[in-house]
């Protein structure tokens, strides 16, 4: 298969590196100094579990320069850049292109599908701890790398054979892949960690160490998870695990000095995924009649401080 990965940050860069290291045909859509460095020297993957590897069999181009039609298109941008991804799909993808958005924000596939009725947009999520360390360099700080994707309920299962093949290709590339038959549950379960961690981390502006010990920070983190779980129940999602327990275990396994990507963006005065990871939950609460007071509190704080 021909893979195109739209977005060369921590998520897209890591995914591209692993797929290319398994000798897949990979094109990475990037920009700026990051793109220039990859084109000149290859993509450097810096990890603690497998050392540092230079991956030189990845094609890297701008969105405008991409002239192929991919079999699989992974969308790995921030939520605020989703319109760019939709425009790219309209211009470059074909009817036989399987589109898999793996953003942090819950329900992105459905949002894309509404705008792209002639394409096949699945929903998906990824578990990975990585970021751009320097132009052309991706730092994967934890060996966890898991991709989950699937069709939404009532979605026509076009390209289902390709989706099944994708699962095996990812596994062959040492990516723990799961072609889910309940992607709403699985994506919401991932969101139930990412969103509370990002919201609480940004609000308190502390490292993960504060969430690994009893106190207001940890209580807020677990409270936010419970609000996402309540939303899930209103959506008639039945979780197979205790998401508070799962979330605390994940948090406790992170390096104490770790921070969340949204938190880092806010610290640096950059545009962030606040609208997708916080405000979206407030709006879903209103839609489903679910009380989300902690999210409302953090959303009000963000609004008062001009956070976007």
- The pLDDT of residue 54 is 97
Percent of the chain with pLDDT over 90: 87
Percentage of residues in the chain with pLDDT exceeding 70? 100
Distance CA 121, CA 90 (A): 12
Candidates 119, 124, 128; CA nearest to 146 is: 128
Instruction: For residue 15, give both structure tokens.
Output: 């995914």
Q: Which pLDDT score, from 0 to 100, does residue 255 have? A: 85
**pLDDT value of position 308:** 82
* Cα angle value 87/89/90 (rounded, 5°): 65
User: pLDDT tens-digit profile of 29-79?
Assistant: 999 999 999 999 999 999 989 899 999 999 999 999 999 999 999 999 988
User: What token pair was written down for 220?
Assistant: 């807020």
Helices 216-234 and 280-288: angle between axes, nearest 10 degrees? 50
Q: Tell me, what's the pLDDT at 115? A: 96
pLDDT of 142 > 90? The answer is: no
Q: How far apart are CA 133 and CA 93, in angstroms?
A: 30
Structure confidence by residue, pLDDT tens digits, 268-304: 998 999 999 999 999 999 999 999 999 999 999 999 9
Kindly state the greatest CA–CA separation across the chain: 53
pLDDT tens for each residue of 68-126: 999 999 999 988 899 999 999 999 999 999 999 999 888 899 999 999 999 999 999 99
Q: How far is Cα 113 from Cα 106, in angstroms, rounded to an integer?
A: 14
Q: What is the pTM of this model?
A: 0.89
- Nearest of 30, 56, 14, 5 to residue 140 by alpha carbon: 14
Look at residue 252 and tell me whether its pLDDT is greater than 90. yes
Q: b vs e for 199-232, b when ≥16 Cβ sit within 10 Å of the residue's Cβ?
A: bbbbbbeebbebbbeeeebbebbbbbbbbbbebb
The pLDDT score that the predictor gives to residue 210 is: 95
d(CA 211, CA 110): 32
């Amino acid at each position: 298969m021909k893979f195109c990965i739209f977005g060369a940050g921590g998520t897209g860069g890591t995914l591209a590196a692993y797929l290319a290291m398994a000798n897949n045909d990979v094109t990475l859509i990037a920009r700026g100094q990051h793109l220039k460095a990859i084109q000149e020297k290859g993509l450097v993957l810096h990890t603690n579990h497998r050392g540092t590897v230079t991956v030189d069999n990845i094609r890297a181009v701008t969105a405008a320069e991409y002239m192929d039609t991919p079999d699989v298109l992974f969308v790995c941008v921030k939520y605020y850049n989703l319109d760019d991804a939709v425009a790219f799909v309209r211009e470059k993808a074909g009817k036989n292109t399987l589109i898999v958005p793996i953003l942090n924000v819950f329900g992105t596939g459905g949002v894309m599908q509404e705008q792209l009725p002639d394409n096949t947009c699945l929903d998906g999520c990824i578990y990975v701890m990585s970021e751009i360390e320097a132009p052309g360099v991706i730092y994967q700080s934890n060996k966890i790398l898991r991709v989950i994707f699937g069709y939404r309920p009532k979605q026509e299962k076009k390209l289902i054979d390709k989706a099944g093949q994708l699962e095996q290709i990812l596994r062959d590339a040492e990516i723990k892949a799961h072609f889910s038959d309940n992607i709403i549950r699985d994506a919401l379960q991932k969101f139930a960690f990412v969103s509370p961690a990002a919201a609480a981390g940004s609000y308190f502006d502390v490292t993960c160490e504060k969430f690994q010990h009893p106190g207001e920070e940890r209580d807020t983190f677990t409270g936010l998870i419970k609000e996402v779980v309540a939303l899930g129940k209103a959506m008639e999602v039945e979780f197979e695990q205790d998401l508070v327990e799962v979330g605390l275990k994940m948090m406790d396994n992170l390096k104490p000095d770790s921070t969340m990507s949204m938190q880092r963006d806010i610290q640096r005065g950059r545009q962030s995924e606040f609208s997708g990871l916080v405000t979206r939950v407030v709006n879903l609460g209103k839609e489903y009649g679910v009380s989300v007071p902690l999210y409302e509190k953090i959303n009000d704080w963000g609004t008062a401080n001009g956070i976007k």
